Every structure is written in structure tokens, then in C-alpha cells.
């Protein structure tokens, strides 16, 4: 009898294992159920100065940081209250319990798909993982509804839920962008189908994806996009940012006007900007801030302008899209990116860069999207070559094509800044707007940290084209250029020496060495002079 039970257990374990493998294979080319889409940050991108950028400040989403820090537990009550508010939006009084049971069963059934979405092996029991997905999924869905459909789907909970206040918290919104702080967007699909079947039509995958994705973007005060499918929040925002100027950057090119854009995505070249901002100015390059967002170029940080505190985007009826609404969305999107549309344009000796605002969450957002670009490069570049087929719906846009715009931006700023003088120059040009009030030396270290460990092969040939032109551009009086460069090199070396002497006991060691040298010289001179 015992042997029969053992055989049955082994058979069940084998069947579960085979089912998990089948789930992985089915999700390889599915856009919003993608295997291994929620990655961990590569070790080569981490160091002591940026490790905190990958850690949540306030709220934990998903299993990665669950229970890891006591300070994150403070948001658990907020998430539960948000979940309660969401359930009171779904049905009549007395029905929240029924909806809770339905949602719990739905989340329980997608356990294998959820586990397949994570790169790292999840060791949690089915019940614990399902609880995390249910609570965190309801929390995110409540934020989405409260921001974009509050009037259409009002909550009867009294007192009202905490979502409106949560949406004002810059740290919370930043935490939703962390690479390791994600849940599969599939969870939002399952919950929305059960709670609001009239809005999130369960029979139309395309329509539901459009509504959910645009609600996610509304949380960050972004406008609508054309039917993308993304596996999680970070990928969706990354797709939105890259799509803002994609058409313009691909179509604009003339012999005298080279704009940074995506021209040859499969071309992997390595080239470094060898001239910092001061040396570029000495070579005759004019550096200025882009005042008008109508300039065309590569845009990777336009989304940050209104990431926090931007104007609310009303998505009252998201299932009916008219020409008038499309026009209004375009105008709203322009307002979002105006003043903080991170572009680079080099034309006839003029390097134009849009202003970059440094806030307390900029590092976290920037570094996590860089990490996501590295993951996408390794993850989708191979799978796209291996697969000869697409997802079932031709109207849905995949976000899986790799793009390294955030990586590109970190490399450009790293090349432009080699000392505090370069930071000062870019601040005077209003290209760098520092809300943290750091000094120039701290900002220099800040930008070098941004590019730490990045893979230059991620960027495309348009970056190489602009960098090559900047490295070789030369105009102006030769002697004056040499004097400017020598003066800049002197200040750079002086700054390096000062920083070196500040470290540990370097100053004492240098002082002892100088005194020893002086003593030696004095001894030699005294010996020969006495003769």
C-alpha cells in the first residue's frame, strides 16, 4: 500500500514538473505572459554607490522583497485597505466577499504562469504566492481605477480608500518602476475580468489590453498608447517612452543634420565620447539646451517630466476612441514631455541637449530601466531570432524589441562629464537642473554612477555616428583651443589630486613622502656644499 502511494506521489510530481515546462514553452512568444520576463538586476550593474537604486523605498510588489525589511511592512495595511476599496467598486453591498472568492480562485489557477514569469526560482508555497499576487494585484488595480476611472467605477467604501493619497507619493510611484519589484500584468487581466466584466471585456483580449495598459500609464500621468502588450509595468513605461519620438528619429536624416535615433538596431558597435563638455567647447562645439520640444531627436526621459506631480489624465470612457480624443491625447503627450524631453541633437557644430531634472527618485528610475534594457537585450534578441511566428492578434504591438535609449543617455552624460567644471558648464547651460542641491563634485560622481557596468553593445549605430562626429569636430583658432584644453586638463588633474588626498590616509602618506624627499635633497646638498 505504501509503495503504491509512493508511486502515485512520484507520478503527480512528474506531471506537475511537465506542466511547468509546458507553461514555460507556451509563454515564450506570448506578449503579456512572457516566461522569465521579471528579471533580477545583473551583478555587473551594481556597486556600493548605486545598489540602493534597485531597492524599494516604501512598498514591496511581488515576492522578491516580501518580508525582507520591516519598513516595507508599513504599506501592507495600505494595500489591504486599497484592496477593500476595489472590492467595493465591483458589486452591490454584501458582494465583496463573493468577488474575493472568485478572485482568489482565478489567481490560484494561474500559479504556473506566475512562476514562469520570474527568472529566479520562487520557493514560496502556492498559497503564499497566490496571496501576494492577489493583494498586490488588487492594490495596483485600485490605483489604476482611482486615477483613471474613479467616476465610472466609484467605491462605496466609507471612509474612502487610500488610493488618492498614495498616488501623490513620489516614492511609491518610483517603487512601481523597480525591475525586481514587479508582478505579471496577467494578474491585472484576471482580476479585472472578474471584478469589472462590463468594462474589461473578457471576450476581447485586444480591448482589455488597451484599457489596462492605458490605465497603468495614467497612474504615472502618461497619455494613451496604441495597443501595446507588455509583461509588466516597467516594460510598458519603457515602451511608451521609446515610442514618443520613434517615428521622427527613424525618418530624419540629412548630410548636415545627424539626429540621434534608431537606424540600425542590429548593429552593435562600441565607441566612447573622448571629449568632455569643456573640451568640446574648446574645439568649437556650441552646447545649448533645447528650448522647444519640437526639435527631433532621441527621446528617453520625456516621461520623467510628469512622472510625479503631473496633470491628471482623464480616461473616462476608454473603450470609445474618436478623432477628437486622439488629438487631445497628442496634445497632452506634448505637454508631458515639454521641458524635460531628454534629446540629443548635433547639427553644424551645435550640440543641443534637453534639460535633465535630478530628483530623489531619478537614480532609481534611470538605473532600473537600464537594467531592464540589458535584460531585454539578452532575453529577446535570441528569442526573436529563434521564433518565426508572432502573437495571435496582429493589431497588438509587442514591446519586446530591444532598445537602449536609457543606456545611451547614461553613456553620453558620462562622456560629457570628466570633472566638476563640466558639471558647472552644463548647469550654467540649464541642461542639468539639480533639485537635490548637490555640489558639482557630487553630481560628477552621480553621473559616473549612472553608467557603471553598462554594456556599450546595447546602443545602436546612431549613437556611434554622433559620438564619432563629436570626437572629430574641430573649428576655431588652434592656439586658443590648445590653451583651453591645457587649462581644463590642469584643473582636471588638480581635482583628481585633491580627491586622492582626501581618501583615507593618502594625505598623510603624501606629506611623509614629500618631507622625506625634502630631507633627502637637503642631505645631499649639505654633503656637497660642505665640500
pLDDT tens string 352-382? 998 899 999 999 999 999 999 888 877 555 4
> What's the pLDDT band for 16 if we cut at 50, 70, 90?
low
Q: What share of the chain is helix, strand, coil (3-state, %, to 5)?
A: 55, 5, 40
Query: Tell me, what's the pLDDT at 264?
Result: 43
Least confident of 318-327, 414-423, 430-439, 516-525: 318-327
> What's the pLDDT band for 18 if we cut at 50, 70, 90?
low
Query: Any idea what the Cα angle at residue 477 is, between residues 474 and 480, rounded to 5°?
Result: 105
Of 142, 128, 144, give the one whose Cα is nearest residue 62: 128
Do 296 and 414 fall within a single domain? yes
Any domain includes 517: yes
More confident residue, 50 or 16: 50
Please say whether the dihedral angle defined by the alpha carbons of residues 88, 92, 93 and 96, taken in this order, is positive or negative: negative
Question: 3-class SS at 61?
Answer: coil
- Name the grid cell of 199: 468594462
Number of domains in the chain: 4
The answer to whether 173 touches 56, Cβ cutoff 8 Å, is: no
Query: Tell me, what's the pLDDT at 507?
Result: 59
| H or E, element range at 288 | strand 286-289
How many Å apart are CA 455 and CA 421, to the nearest integer? 27
More confident residue, 483 or 270: 483
Of 302, 136, 160, give the one whose Cα is nearest residue 217: 302
The range of the structural domain enclosing residue 446 comes to 244-305+340-381+400-476
CA dist 521 → 510, 513, 529, 531 (Å): 16, 12, 12, 16
* 433: β partners: 357
pTM for the full model? Answer: 0.73
Do 164 and 300 fall within a single domain? no
Domain boundary among 183, 210, 234: 234
Do 442 and 344 fall within a single domain? yes
pLDDT at position 190 over 70: yes
Do 26 and 36 fall within a single domain? no
Any domain includes 225: yes
Mean pLDDT (whole number) for 461-475: 84
Do 377 and 442 fall within a single domain? yes
Q: Residue 490 contacts by C-beta under 8 Å, 6 or more apart in sequence? A: none
Query: Tell me, what's the pLDDT at 375?
Result: 86
Strands 228-229 and 397-398, how do they pair?
A: parallel
Do 158 and 266 fall within a single domain? no
Sole residue written with cell 503631473: 310
pLDDT at position 35 over 90: no
Query: Tell me, what's the pLDDT at 80?
Result: 95
Start-to-end CA span in the chain (Å): 109
Mean pLDDT (whole number) for 302-309: 43
Do 229 and 259 fall within a single domain? no
Reading phi first (left if > 0) and then psi (alpha if -120 to 50, else beta), residue 336 is in alpha
Any domain includes 469: yes
Q: What is the pLDDT of residues 195-234, one digit of tens each?
A: 998 888 766 778 888 889 999 999 988 877 766 678 889 9
Query: Tell me, what's the pLDDT at 298?
Result: 47
The answer to whether 212 touches 55, Cβ cutoff 8 Å, is: no
How many Å apart are CA 462 and CA 472, to the nearest integer? 16
Q: Kindly report the length of the chain.
A: 531
Any domain includes 332: no
Any domain includes 334: no
Query: Tell me, what's the pLDDT at 296?
Result: 45
CA dist 377 → 233, 237, 457, 515 (Å): 18, 17, 9, 54
> What's the pLDDT band for 461 if we cut at 50, 70, 90?
confident
Do 524 and 441 fall within a single domain? no
Query: Tell me, what's the pLDDT at 266?
Result: 38
How many Å apart are CA 382 and CA 376, to the nearest integer? 10
Query: Any idea what the Cα angle at residue 455 is, between residues 454 and 456, rounded to 5°?
Result: 110
Domain boundary among 234, 256, 288: 234
Do 257 and 174 fall within a single domain? no
Average pLDDT taken over every residue of the chain:
75
Mean pLDDT (whole number) for 337-352: 73
Q: What is the pLDDT of residues 495-509, one digit of tens each?
A: 656 666 666 666 566
Any domain includes 394: no
Any domain includes 471: yes
Least confident of 55-59, 255-259, 321-325, 438-442: 321-325
Question: 3-class SS at 259?
Answer: strand
Q: What is the pLDDT of residues 140-186, one digit of tens each?
A: 999 999 999 999 999 988 888 999 999 999 999 999 999 999 999 99
- Name the grid cell of 14: 512528474
Query: Tell me, what's the pLDDT at 237?
Result: 87
Do 418 and 355 fall within a single domain? yes
Do 151 and 289 fall within a single domain? no
String of DSSP letters for 461-508: HHHHHHHHHHHH---S-HHHHHHHHHHHHHHHHHHHHHHHHHSTTHHH
Any domain includes 188: yes
Do 59 and 49 fall within a single domain? yes
More confident residue, 131 or 272: 131
Query: Tell me, what's the pLDDT at 384?
Result: 46
Amino acid at each position: 500500500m505504501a509503495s503504491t502511494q509512493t508511486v502515485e506521489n512520484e507520478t503527480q510530481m512528474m506531471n506537475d514538473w511537465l506542466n511547468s515546462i509546458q507553461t514555460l514553452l507556451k509563454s515564450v512568444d506570448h506578449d503579456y505572459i512572457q516566461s522569465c520576463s521579471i528579471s533580477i538586476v545583473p551583478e555587473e550593474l551594481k556597486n556600493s554607490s548605486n545598489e540602493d537604486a534597485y531597492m524599494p523605498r516604501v512598498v514591496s510588489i511581488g515576492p522578491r522583497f516580501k518580508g525582507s525589511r520591516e519598513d516595507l511592512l508599513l504599506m501592507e495595511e495600505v494595500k489591504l485597505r486599497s484592496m477593500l476599496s476595489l472590492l467595493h467598486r465591483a458589486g452591490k453591498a454584501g458582494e465583496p466577499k463573493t468577488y474575493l472568492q472568485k478572485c482568489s480562485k482565478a489567481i490560484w489557477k494561474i500559479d504556473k504562469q506566475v512562476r514562469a514569469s520570474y527568472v529566479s526560482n520562487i520557493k514560496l508555497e502556492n498559497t503564499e504566492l497566490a496571496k501576494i499576487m492577489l493583494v498586490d494585484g488588487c492594490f495596483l488595480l485600485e490605483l489604476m481605477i482611482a486615477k483613471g476611472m474613479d467616476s465610472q467605477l466609484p467605491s462605496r467604501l466609507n471612509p474612502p480608500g487610500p488610493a488618492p493619497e498614495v498616488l501623490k507619493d513620489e516614492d511609491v510611484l518610483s517603487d512601481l518602476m523597480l525591475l525586481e519589484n514587479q508582478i505579471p500584468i496577467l494578474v491585472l487581466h484576471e482580476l479585472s475580468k472578474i471584478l469589472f466584466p462590463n468594462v474589461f471585456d473578457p471576450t476581447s483580449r485586444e480591448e482589455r489590453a488597451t484599457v489596462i495598459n492605458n490605465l497603468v500609464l495614467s497612474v504615472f500621468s502618461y497619455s494613451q498608447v496604441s495597443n501595446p502588450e507588455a509583461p509588466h509595468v516597467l516594460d510598458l513605461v519603457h515602451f511608451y517612452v521609446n515610442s514618443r519620438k520613434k517615428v521622427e528619429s527613424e525618418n530624419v536624416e540629412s548630410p548636415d543634420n545627424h539626429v540621434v535615433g534608431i537606424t540600425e538596431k542590429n548593429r552593435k558597435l562600441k565607441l566612447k565620447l573622448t571629449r568632455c563638455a569643456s573640451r568640446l567647447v574648446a574645439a568649437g562645439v556650441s552646447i545649448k539646451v533645447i528650448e522647444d520640444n519640437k526639435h527631433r531627436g532621441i527621446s528617453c526621459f520625456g516621461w520623467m517630466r510628469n512622472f510625479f506631480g503631473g496633470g491628471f489624465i482623464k480616461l473616462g470612457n476608454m473603450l470609445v476612441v474618436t478623432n477628437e480624443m486622439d488629438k487631445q491625447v497628442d496634445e497632452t503627450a506634448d505637454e508631458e514631455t515639454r521641458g524635460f524631453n531628454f534629446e540629443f541633437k548635433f547639427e553644424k557644430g551645435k550640440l543641443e541637449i534637453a534639460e535633465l531634472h535630478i530628483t530623489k527618485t531619478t537614480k532609481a528610475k534611470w538605473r532600473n530601466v537600464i537594467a531592464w534594457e540589458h535584460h531585454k537585450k539578452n532575453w529577446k534578441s535570441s528569442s526573436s531570432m529563434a521564433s518565426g511566428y508572432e502573437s495571435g492578434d496582429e493589431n497588438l504591438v509587442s514591446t519586446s524589441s530591444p532598445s537602449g535609449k536609457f543606456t545611451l543617455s547614461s553613456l553620453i552624460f558620462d562622456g560629457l562629464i570628466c570633472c566638476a567644471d563640466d558639471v558647472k558648464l552644463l548647469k550654467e547651460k540649464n541642461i542639468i537642473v539639480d533639485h537635490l542641491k548637490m555640489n558639482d563634485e557630487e553630481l560628477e560622481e552621480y553621473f559616473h554612477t549612472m553608467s557603471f557596468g553598462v554594456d556599450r553593445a546595447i546602443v545602436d549605430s546612431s549613437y556611434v555616428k554622433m559620438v564619432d562626429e563629436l570626437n572629430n569636430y574641430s573649428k576655431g583658432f588652434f592656439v586658443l583651443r590648445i590653451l583651453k584644453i591645457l587649462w581644463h586638463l590642469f584643473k582636471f588633474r588638480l581635482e583628481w589630486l585633491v580627491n586622492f588626498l582626501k581618501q583615507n590616509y593618502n594625505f598623510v602618506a603624501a606629506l611623509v613622502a614629500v618631507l622625506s624627499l625634502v630631507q633627502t635633497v637637503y642631505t645631499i646638498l649639505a654633503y656637497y656644499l660642505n665640500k
